[in-house]
Structure 1
Amino acid sequence: MKHMLLLCLAASAFTGCGQTKPDSNTDSSGDLSGPPKIVVSTWVLKELTEGLVAGGAEVVCLETSLKAQRLSDSQISELQSADLTIVNGAGMEPWLQTVSLPRSRLLDSTASSSAELLQADGSITHQHGPNGPKDPAGLIHSTWLSPRMLLRQCETIKKRLSTMDIDGTRVSEGHAANELRISQLTAKIEALQRVSLTVLTSSTETGWLIHELKWKQRVIGVDYMDFTEASAAEQKLQPYMQARLVLTTDLEAEATIGGLSAVQIDLCLDSKKNVSLFDRLEGNLTRLEEAVGVLSGEPSRSSETSE
Structure 2
Amino acid sequence: MSKTLKYGLHGLPTRHGVGPSCVSLPAGQWPTITDFLVERFPAITRKTWLERMQQGLMADEFGLAVTPERPYQGHMRVYYYRALDDEPRIPFEETVLYQDEHLVVADKPHFLPVTPSGHYLQETLLVRLKNRLGLDGLTPIHRIDRETAGLVLFSVRIADRNAYQGLFRQHTIHKHYEAIAPWRAGTVFPLTRKSRIVEDKPFFRQLEVPGEPNSESRIDVLEVAGNVARYALSPVTGKKHQLRVHMNALGLPILNDRMYPPVEHTPDDDYRLPLQLLAKSIAFTDPVTGQQRQFETRFSLNF
TM-score by length of 2: 0.25
TM-score by length of 1: 0.24
Higher helix share: 1
Higher strand share: 2
Largest Rg, 1 or 2: 1
